[in-house]
Amino acid sequence: MAPKDDCVQPQPSLSNRQREILGYIEQFVDQHNYPPAIRQIQEDLGISSTSVVVYNLNILEQRGMLRREGKVSRGISISKVEAAFEANANQVPFLGTITAGSPLPDPEDLSSGTTEFIDVPPEVVPGNKLANVYALKVRGYSMVDALIADGDIVLLRYQETAQQGDMVAVRIISDNSVTLKRFYKEGDKVRLQPANVTMDPIYVAANNVRIQGRVVGVMRSM
């Protein structure tokens, strides 16, 4: 008897929730040219928690529908995401202004419907390391001792976690504002430390902050 061909099991169909999440990601990338944050998926689709989003993203990844980069919030890679970044290989989305003094509104709320891109010199961040990186213009002088001045452009990689001392964009949830500071977790509070000896740190409850990216490069204003 001739040997039977190996049977290929049909791939299980996606659930309605998984199709909804995948469709949302594709639509978001079409509009913005960068992937949504996990919390953004949760809020926009009315999902009960970010853990439910992560669970379904893991299933989509297992089925080859997308790829994820570790614990990076916006580290979601699907064909349309990759195409968007390849089309802008030396560019990153510019999302508005962030303060280096007092907090400003969320830069995502300030951005217009049409995403603007800016060129990034390879000596600042190489083109092959620009995935999930975005740009914000700095307003203020609280990070001047870290050589970040008013008018400079900071490049941030999307992530929702930080190590002690990382320079990050932090959203203060209670007043829906974002500020650029060094991050220090101290018990049940977070210290947002300016790099300016004339300014005091900001202390916020740990559950009242959301990290929106870590600084990976600076483009100086002329």
- Which residues are part of the catalytic machinery? 142, 181
Q: Would you call 194 exposed, middle or buried from its count of C-beta atoms within 10 A (0-12, 13-18, 19+)?
A: buried
Beta pairing class for 167-172 and 177-186: antiparallel
Instruction: Give phi and psi for 71, each to the nearest 5.
Output: -100, 15
**Whether 131 contacts 72, CB under 8 Å:** no
Q: How far apart are CA 117 and CA 135, in angstroms?
A: 9
**Whether 185 contacts 208, CB under 8 Å:** no
Q: How far apart are CA 48 and CA 50, in angstroms?
A: 7
Q: How far apart are CA 181 and CA 203, in angstroms?
A: 11
Helix/strand/coil for 192? strand
**Whether 193 contacts 145, CB under 8 Å:** no
**Whether 151 contacts 221, CB under 8 Å:** yes
Using the structure block, give the residue that is written with the tokens 């932090």: 170
